[in-house]
């Protein structure tokens, strides 16, 4: 197997509960695969006795494929998947025990927002105060904590009580329409395990080993799910890294991995500290940063791959200068024979991407925003899927509302609202209400004809579906509904792209392999599409630079990483500074960002940056100041470097800096050396008072300097006339 000693210990451990603290790049996926292979090959365990849990469908597929390759046989029926995917599989098998209808469908995030928007409108609430996204966050958060509406305390205030009422109404409508959202998959599975003791015992007896990847990212309901499923004779292998716990904002509980040793005692703890990804310099930097956090389980990453080059640090004048520097470096990399796809730009906030994108566009550098719209989230695909959903389930109000007039068929908002009112007044679904109105005199002649035509279209497609396979049905839906012509009519490449996507949907249907031969293949396909739409992985594409948030970067690696915007209040984010927990999570985010780099890491910060409409002055992030000085060298735009640097130049806004961009050299010579001023310097003006230098431009007699004065006014002043007096 060619494993190192700690890896071998994890793979061949006796039947016990295991906590594997796996550092970044330490080969944890390989350890998981080899552990499962060992249990089946050496211990004679059946694949049916194992359950492996991952956090993405991609990771699950990779794990299954690697395991099949290792063992040389198919493991198609083995329970390997995400928490949501495995919960869905359980509920499909035990829908009756779970209190569901066999033909239930999954409600994805977009459809959830649509339903909530409709509920807010039906209850005549102020949609400016009760926003669908916020309500969805409240509902999903409650489900992640295992809470139903009846578990929540009312009487606190009007807003909270209304949210609880909306949650209750949302649950009721989901039940009526046979819909299950992502949070419901886990909560309903947990409740079924809890309430059906015989069913729980069956699975406890079946699964002798539970293997959970990314354990530090589990939330409350997932942790409770595992604890409940782990029987007296079940062995749990938790693999994770508390130093990479960065998803508290979406419900992850770092305390889950911290309490594992006590809740699952006795536990054997193994640390994977040898890194196979990064250079020694990068690992020293990462170790130094994360060591400032408290309450860690503890580990020290190391490598035998050599020291590598120093981390480069560039102090930009502003965000435009920062973006130009990054673009120039990328161009140099490609000119020297490198690939764009070897490079990633990481930032703390999505808002930072705009300036970077502008610079990359001007430089002609292809790029991709990682985590952009996935295939099943694209407009044309969603429309086609909604038709398929409505064919499968006429009670799906969300699907009905989306496609009743897409493509336009003369059914206006007034007609749709009339259908809604009928549904509200008579307690019906939208389909039944439309059917009733089409058979009565409740609609005008034109509206009646259009609604009747839509109903007939869906019924005809449903009738044809009996004799068609899935791909032919998808083709029939796309053609008969007019979606292909509708989306293809868009001008330029976008229209062609939408047509290509619709054709690809047909191909996806053709390639789809159902897991359950007894269940409807259309139902299975729709469920899988909803699960895939919930993930945020980038599409494979042409050679391009990857732009992404630090949160999106987890689990990825690149030969060269640009970590931009390394400034206090941006990274760490200003919202994190009020609590120790928030600051420590930000530091873990820095640790994740640093360890994405394999060979080269470039860090940039701006002395002045425009954020939220205001200018902010850059103080180098404390996380970068925590890196040992011998690991870093400061750089010029033209790639010249100098080192070492003293601690004062490695702190706040440097005043006396020899590494100015060449176009400012004259300013440095004539202005900086004579007066000691630079970006961030404090000055006094005879008329305007005291202020701070923001920027400068031009040269010679026309050189100008921008100053923000203490009264918040900003002025461009001709240097030779300004008579600025340096302060301090």
Residues designated catalytic: 28-29, 213-214, 244, 596
CA distances from 62 to 54, 80, 237, 539, 652 (A): 10, 10, 19, 16, 45
DSSP symbol at 615: E
Neighbours of 713 (CB within 10 A): 11
DSSP symbol at 408: -
The token pair that represents 24 in the structure block: 């970044």
Q: Tell the burial category of 712 from Cβ atoms under 10 Å away from its Cβ (0-12, 13-18, 19+).
A: exposed
Q: Tell the burial category of 442 from Cβ atoms under 10 Å away from its Cβ (0-12, 13-18, 19+).
A: middle
Q: Which residues contact 689 (CB under 8 A, 6 or more apart)?
A: 709, 710, 711
How far apart are the C-alpha atoms of 312 and 93, rounded to whole Å? 55
Among residues 385, 313, 305, the alpha carbon closest in space to that of 620 is found at 313
Q: What is the CA radius of gyration of the chain?
A: 29
Phi, psi angles (nearest 5°) of residue 219 = -100, -175
How far apart are the C-alpha atoms of 162 and 125, rounded to whole Å? 9
User: Assign residue 585 a region: left if phi > 0, alpha if psi is -120 to 50, beta otherwise?
Assistant: alpha
Among residues 341, 399, 332, 338, the alpha carbon closest in space to that of 368 is found at 341
User: Assign residue 567 a region: left if phi > 0, alpha if psi is -120 to 50, beta otherwise?
Assistant: beta
Using CA atoms of 131, 132, 137, 143 in order, give the dihedral in degrees to the nearest 10: 130
How far apart are the C-alpha atoms of 343 and 554, rounded to whole Å? 15
Contact (CB, 8 A) for 106 and 528:
no
Neighbours of 1 (CB within 10 A): 12
CA angle 393, 186, 194 (to 5 degrees): 115
Q: How many residues does the chain have?
A: 728
How far apart are the C-alpha atoms of 703 and 720, rounded to whole Å? 8
Helical packing angle, 5-12 and 28-41, nearest 10°: 40
Contact (CB, 8 A) for 435 and 452:
no
The token pair that represents 263 in the structure block: 């809740």
The token pair that represents 480 in the structure block: 């008969």
How far apart are the C-alpha atoms of 386 and 409, rounded to whole Å? 16
């Amino acid at each position: 197997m060619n494993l190192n000693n700690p890896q071998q210990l994890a793979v061949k451990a006796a039947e016990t509960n295991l906590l594997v603290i796996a550092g970044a790049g330490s080969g944890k996926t390989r350890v998981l695969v080899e552990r499962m292979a060992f249990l089946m090959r050496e211990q004679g365990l059946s694949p049916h006795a194992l359950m492996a849990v991952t956090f993405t469908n991609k990771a699950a597929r990779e794990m299954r494929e690697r395991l099949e390759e290792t063992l040389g046989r198919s493991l198609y029926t083995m329970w390997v998947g995400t928490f949501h995917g495995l919960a869905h599989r359980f509920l499909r098998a035990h829908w009756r025990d779970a209190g569901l209808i066999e033909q239930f469908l999954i409600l994805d995030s977009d459809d959830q927002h649509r339903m909530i928007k409709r509920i807010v409108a039906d209850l005549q609430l102020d949609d400016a105060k009760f926003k669908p996204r916020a309500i969805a966050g409240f509902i999903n958060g409650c489900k992640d904590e295992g809470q139903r509406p009846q578990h929540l305390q009312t009487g606190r205030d009007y807003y909270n009580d209304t949210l609880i009422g909306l949650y209750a109404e949302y649950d009721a409508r989901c039940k009526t329409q046979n819909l299950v959202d992502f949070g419901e998959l886990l909560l309903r599975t947990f409740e079924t395990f809890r309430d059906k003791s015989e069913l729980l015992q069956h699975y406890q007896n079946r699964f002798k080993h539970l293997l959970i990847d990314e354990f530090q990212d589990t939330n409350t309901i997932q942790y409770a799910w595992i604890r409940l499923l782990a029987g007296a004779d079940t062995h749990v292998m938790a693999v994770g890294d508390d130093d990479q716990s960065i998803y508290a904002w979406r419900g992850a509980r770092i305390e889950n991995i911290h309490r594992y040793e006590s809740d699952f005692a006795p536990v054997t703890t193994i640390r994977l500290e040898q890194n196979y990804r990064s250079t020694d310099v990068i690992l020293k930097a990462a170790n130094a940063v994360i060591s400032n956090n408290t309450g860690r389980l503890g580990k020290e990453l190391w490598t035998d791959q050599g020291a590598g080059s120093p981390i480069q640090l560039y102090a930009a004048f502003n965000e435009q200068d920062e973006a130009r520097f990054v673009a120039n470096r990328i161009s140099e990399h490609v000119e020297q024979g490198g690939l764009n796809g070897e490079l990633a730009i990481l930032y703390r906030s999505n808002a930072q991407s705009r300036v970077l994108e502008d610079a990359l566009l001007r430089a002609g550098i292809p790029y991709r925003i990682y985590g952009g719209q996935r295939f099943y989230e694209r407009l044309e695909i969603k429309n086609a899927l909604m038709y398929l959903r409505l064919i499968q389930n006429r009670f799906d109000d969300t699907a009905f509302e989306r496609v009743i007039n897409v493509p336009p068929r003369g059914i206006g908002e007034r007609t749709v609202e009339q259908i809604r009112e009928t549904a509200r007044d008579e307690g019906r679904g939208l389909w039944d209400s439309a059917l009733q109105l089409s058979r009565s005199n409740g609609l005008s002649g034109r509206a009646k004809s259009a609604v009747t035509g839509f109903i007939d279209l869906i019924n005809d497609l449903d009738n044809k579906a009996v004799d068609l396979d899935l791909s032919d049905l998808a083709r029939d839906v796309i053609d008969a509904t007019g979606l292909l012509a509708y989306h293809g009519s868009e001008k330029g490449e976008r229209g062609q792209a939408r047509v290509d996507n619709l054709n690809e949907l047909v191909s996806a249907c053709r390639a789809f392999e159902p897991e359950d031969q007894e269940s409807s293949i259309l139902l299975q396909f729709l469920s899988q599409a909803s699960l895939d739409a919930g993930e945020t992985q980038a599409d494979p594409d042409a050679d391009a630079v990857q732009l992404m948030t630090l949160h999106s970067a987890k689990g990825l690696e690149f030969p060269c990483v640009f970590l931009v915007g390394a400034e206090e209040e941006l990274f760490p984010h200003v919202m994190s500074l009020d609590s120790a927990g928030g600051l420590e999570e930000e530091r873990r985010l820095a640790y994740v960002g640093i360890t994405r780099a394999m060979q080269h890491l470039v860090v940039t910060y701006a002395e002045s940056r425009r954020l939220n409409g205001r200018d902010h002055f850059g103080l180098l992030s404390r996380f970068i100041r925590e890196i040992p000085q011998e690991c870093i060298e400061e750089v010029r735009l033209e790639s010249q470097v100098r080192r070492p640097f003293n601690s004062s130049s490695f702190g706040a806004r440097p005043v006396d800096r020899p590494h100015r961009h060449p176009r400012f050299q004259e300013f440095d010579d004539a202005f900086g050396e004579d007066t000691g001023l630079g970006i961030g310097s404090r000055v006094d003006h005879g008329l305007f008072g005291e202020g701070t230098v923001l920027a400068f431009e031009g040269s010679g007699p026309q050189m100008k300097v921008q100053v923000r004065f203490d009264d918040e006014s900003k002025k461009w002043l001709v240097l030779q006339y300004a008579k600025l007096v340096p302060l301090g």
